[in-house]
Amino acid sequence: MPPPPPGGGRGGAGRCAAAAYPHHVSYCHCGDCRRASGAPVSAFVGFLAGQVAFTGKALKMFENGPVTRSFCGICGSPIAYVDERLEDDIYFMLGAMDMPADFKPTLHAYVSEQLPFLHISDDLPRHLKTSVKRPDGTIQ
């Protein structure tokens, strides 16, 4: 099976590619992701960090607590985030992928923070908070 399609910012200055398919694809309704993306909901594609490579020198970082978000320093496109509590993972913005339709979300996270006017009609599981297990085995 070929590797998944790569991704990057709008201008192409920063690119990413994964050597394996993602282990996690989800919607996130939390306020932090909303502010970082500028959208009412975000969608992420999660990979093991060791399976991802970046090219280009335009990537910039912004830290907020345990989360570090990356974005293109030239066009401003949000690219990915890492969470120090999930040290082996990296989550790319679904919209930063070259072929976003290849990555169908499988769940909703942080629906406790979902905007009241936003309705996504699907039968996907909905988690009040995170959907990703922390290293101690909990989902908080």
Residue 1 has pLDDT above 70, yes or no: no
Q: pLDDT for 31-81, tens place per residue? A: 999 999 999 999 999 999 999 988 877 788 899 888 999 988 888 889 999
Confidence of residue 139 (pLDDT cuts 50, 70, 90): low
Confidence of residue 95 (pLDDT cuts 50, 70, 90): very high
Residue whose token pair is 């998944």: 4
pTM, full prediction? 0.87
Q: Which residue has the higher pLDDT, 22 or 15?
A: 22
Cβ pair 40, 18 in contact under 8 A: no
Mean pLDDT of the chain, nearest integer? 88
52 vs 54: CA distance, rounded Å:
7
How much is the pLDDT for 116?
Answer: 96
- Whose CA is closest to 70, among 51, 88, 96, 47? 96
- DSSP H or E stretch at residue 54: strand 52-55
